[in-house]
């Protein structure tokens, strides 16, 4: 096995372990939240948009916007709540006025999320899938001696 293969296997393996671990933590937190949360009808009333800059491949600055849904719902005590969810997207996932199911922490109703596959499970899925892919590549390089061309 060449030194390039060893470096690739260690880097990809390490990154795969970190991503898989982060995915498992996120899955665990999401499962706990869903299991303990109250469910109620809500409505998307607006979006909070956060703009950030990044640099593209040519070195030019680009602006990107992420839209976070703001939902209104009544908690179990009948208190009207207006909460910005923690999952944003670009473009916006729901139209303003859309009826949604809201899951909220019964002890802290300001912690609320829209009950949808993308809002709750997309990030854990990406982390676990990415981690598995990186681990697969590391194993392929290490165990099966897959040839890798590395140039610095």
Sheet of 61-74, strands arranged across: 80-84, 61-74, 38-55, 99-104, 112-114
Q: Which one, of 120, 71, 64, lies nearest residue 94 by Cα?
A: 71
Report pLDDT for 149: 67
pLDDT tens digit sequence for 56-110: 888 899 999 999 999 999 999 999 999 999 999 989 999 999 999 999 999 999 9
148 vs 63 pLDDT, higher one: 63
Please report whether residue 9 resides in a domain.
yes
Report pLDDT for 30: 96
CA 51, CA 150: separation in Å to the nearest integer?
37
Phi, psi (degrees; rounded to nearest 5) at 60: -85, 140
Mean pLDDT of 3-22: 92
Bridge partner list, 88: none
Q: What angle do CA 67, 47, 79 make, to 5 degrees?
A: 130
Please report whether residue 148 resides in a domain.
no
Please report whether residue 132 resides in a domain.
yes
18 vs 4 pLDDT, higher one: 18
Please report whether residue 61 resides in a domain.
yes
> In the chain, how many domains are there?
1
Q: Which one, of 66, 79, 76, 70, lies nearest residue 112 by Cα?
A: 70
Report pLDDT for 57: 85
Please report whether residue 147 resides in a domain.
no
Report pLDDT for 74: 97
pLDDT tens digit sequence for 16-33: 999 999 999 999 999 999
Range of the domain at 102: 3-142
CB 39 within 8 A of CB 115: yes
CB 141 within 8 A of CB 133: no
pLDDT at 1 over 80: no
């Amino acid at each position: 096995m060449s030194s390039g293969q060893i470096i690739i296997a260690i880097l990809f393996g390490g990154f795969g372990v970190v991503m898989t671990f982060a995915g498992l933590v996120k899955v665990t937190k999401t499962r706990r939240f869903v299991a303990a949360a109250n469910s109620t009808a809500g409505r998307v009333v607006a979006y909070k948009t956060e703009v950030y800059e990044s640099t593209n491949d040519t070195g030019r600055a680009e602006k990107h916007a992420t839209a976070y849904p703001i939902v209104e719902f009544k908690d179990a005590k009948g208190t009207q709540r207006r909460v910005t969810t923690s999952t944003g997207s670009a473009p916006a996932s729901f139209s303003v006025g859309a009826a949604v199911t809201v899951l909220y922490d019964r002890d802290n109703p300001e912690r609320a999320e829209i009950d949808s596959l993308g809002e709750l499970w997309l990030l854990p899925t990406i982390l676990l899938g990415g981690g598995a892919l990186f681990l697969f590549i590391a194993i392929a390089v290490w165990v099966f001696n897959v040839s890798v061309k590395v140039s610095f």
